Amino acid sequence: MRMIAIPMAMLLAAAPAAAQQAAPRLSIAPGESVTVRIVDAGFVELARTRGEPDGPRAEDTIRFTFTDMGGMLMLHAENGYARAFRYRARMVGGGRSANTSMCTVLPRIATFETWADRIDRLELREPQLTDDTEMACR
């Protein structure tokens, strides 16, 4: 009998997102890139890296990349779903926090949000897939 060893990381990556626990919030700091799925009004984190992500974004995922552009912070959201999604965000930095407006991300495109504020991290929450056909900021 032959035994085949499969690395645990491959098994976890192959697990359906619905079987993984969705988190109500996703924290991202400048310099990070995070790939997620939206499940049950929460985020299922699939990958987190420092710096720019490698390779194309996978189908039915969202990739957030938060970068410091020399004093201006930018959140790049790439939507791999065939539906739009919206979410809320809270800026955290310098011992303070405040909600910020976020725009709907239409299907299969990317959006950019920018801030001049000092932000140590963004707390993303309330993700929702929608049938919206127009971008709205709230």
Residue ranges per structural domain of the chain: 22-130
Give the pTM: 0.83
Q: What is the pLDDT of residues 65-117, one digit of tens each?
A: 999 998 899 999 999 999 999 999 999 999 999 999 999 999 999 999 999 99
What pLDDT was estimated at residue 58?
87
Pairing between strand 73-79 and 110-115?
antiparallel
The CATH class given to the 22-130 domain equals mainly beta
E runs forming strands in the chain: 25-28, 32-39, 42-50, 62-68, 73-79, 84-93, 96-100, 110-115, 121-130
What pLDDT was estimated at residue 19?
55
Of residues 82, 73, 72, 74, the one with CA closest to residue 105:
82
Q: What is the pLDDT of residues 35-64, one digit of tens each?
A: 999 998 899 999 999 988 878 888 999 999
